[in-house]
Amino acid sequence: MSDILSRRGFLGATTGLAAAAAFRVPAGPPEAPAVHIRPPAKPVIVASGNGLRGVERAGQLIATGSDTLDAIIEGVKIQELDPTDMSVGYGGLPNEDGVIQLDASCMHGPTRRAGAVGALENIKTPSVVAKYVLLYTDHILLVGEGAKRFALSYGFQEEDLMTEQTRQRWLSWRANRSGRDDWLDVSGEHEMVARPHGTININAVNARGEISSVTTTSGLAWKIPGRVGDSPIVGAGQYCDNDVGAAGSTGRGEANIKACGAFLTVENMRRGMSPTDAALETLRRVVATTEGRLLNERGRPTFGLNFYALNKNGEFGAASMYPSSFSAFHGETAAVHDTAHLFEGR
Ligand code: GLY
């Protein structure tokens, strides 16, 4: 049995599974249609474009009996430990002081538990620390020094996360900064220019209809120290409801936080939308809640944002502001697909 299901949530999990056998979407808005649930025969996993190796690994693990959250965390760890992925974990791009601060969160549908860390320094795998918060505490989000002390107490190693490549990128940014930082001009005319903004999100459902989600990132490059994005915010960077589905995001966190995008996407699926339509609808809400300085002359966002989603039946999809890609594992193969998108170009 997984270390997650073996802990205190197990009783609740089995009860939940029994209830799911005769599933009708509960607790939704009054107009919510009844949705008949038939989980997929084989695991289905959906992720951001950089998650191809991750969905493949998670798919193999779930197929051999691994818990969905354990499996997708093994999937995102591939990127966290890869020094060439400058958006996640080891080798991620630093903040404006040259310090790498990592964010991650996860949810385990069967036990209805969540864990997260924000602004975590010197630990390569924040997704695993987030899982430990889920497993071993009554809290959900630990940040900064407290998150690091928590990780060290469980034997995580304190390590230098900067690579020569990311150090050179930071030195180059620092030498050229000015209008390209996070401090707004007094005039309010300052345009936020595009900057490296990566992340990995993975969501999975197995043949028993058990769902989990995880998102991990080094966040916005050159951010103000202490800035926390959407990734560790449950309901924004990822969200999972074992009765409905899961969703997660990559892209400009500030835009997503205001829309509670992962939660909203799951709620859209609860109301009967397909995963792709649910994600597109969330993006429309994001545009509607975007302040003028972040819209161009055509009223389109000056930033990118993507959502990835799946439901309990194993239907999956993804949508983005502008053309983008996502990874998925279904049947027995992993592949990269094009997202649905709101706008063809800026
Ligand atoms: N979505 C990642 C971030 O904004 O930090």
Structural domains for the chain = 44-341 (3.60.20.30)
**DSSP-assigned beta bridge partners for residue 247:** 239, 309
DSSP structure class, residue 292: G
Query: Do the beta carbons of residue 305 and residue 255 sit within 8 Å?
Result: yes
Whether 82 has a pLDDT exceeding 80, the answer reads yes
Q: Which of 117, 223, 231 to mutate to test the pocket of ligand 1 (most atoms within 8 A of CB)?
A: 231
Q: Which among 68, 111, 166, 199 is annotated as catalytic? A: 199
Q: Distance (Å, rounded) from C-alpha 245 to C-alpha 255?
A: 22
Q: What percent of the chain has pLDDT over 90?
A: 79
Query: Do the beta carbons of residue 307 and residue 249 sit within 8 Å?
Result: yes
Q: Residue 333 catalytic?
A: no
205 CA to centre of ligand 1 in angstroms? 24
CA dihedral sign, ordered 289, 278, 308, 325: negative
List pLDDT tens digits, range 321-338. 999 999 999 988 999 999
Instruction: Single out the residue of 194, 47, 219 nearest to residue 117, CA to CA.
Output: 219
Instruction: Please tell me if the CB atom of residue 251 comes closer than 6 angstroms to any atom of ligand 1.
Output: yes
Tell the residue nearest (CA) to atom 5 of ligand 1: 219
The CA–CA distances, whole Å, from 105 to 33, 120, 189, 298, 325 equal: 30, 12, 34, 34, 22
339 CA to centre of ligand 1 in angstroms? 19
Q: Distance (Å, rounded) from C-alpha 246 to C-alpha 125?
A: 22
Residues near 346 by Cβ (< 8 Å), separated by ≥ 6?
A: 296, 298, 300, 302, 322
Residues near 175 by Cβ (< 8 Å), separated by ≥ 6?
A: none
Q: What is the pLDDT averaged over residues 60-68?
A: 96
Give the per-residue pLDDT at 21.
33
List pLDDT tens digits, range 207-222. 999 999 999 999 999 9
Q: What percent of the chain has pLDDT over 70?
A: 84
Q: Which residue has the higher pLDDT, 44 or 32?
A: 44
For tokens 């996860």, name the residue: 106
Whether 15 has a pLDDT exceeding 60, the answer reads no
286 CA to centre of ligand 1 in angstroms? 15
57 CA to centre of ligand 1 in angstroms? 24
Query: Do the beta carbons of residue 246 and residue 107 sit within 8 Å?
Result: yes
Q: What is the pLDDT averaged over residues 238-263?
A: 97
Instruction: Please tell me if the CB atom of residue 199 comes closer than 6 angstroms to any atom of ligand 1.
Output: yes
User: What is the Rg, in whole angstroms, of the alpha carbon atoms belonging to the chain?
Assistant: 19
List pLDDT tens digits, range 257-276. 999 999 999 999 999 999 99
Atom of ligand 1 nearest to the CA of 227: 5
Instruction: Please tell me if the CB atom of residue 231 comes closer than 6 angstroms to any atom of ligand 1.
Output: yes
Give the per-residue pLDDT at 6.
52
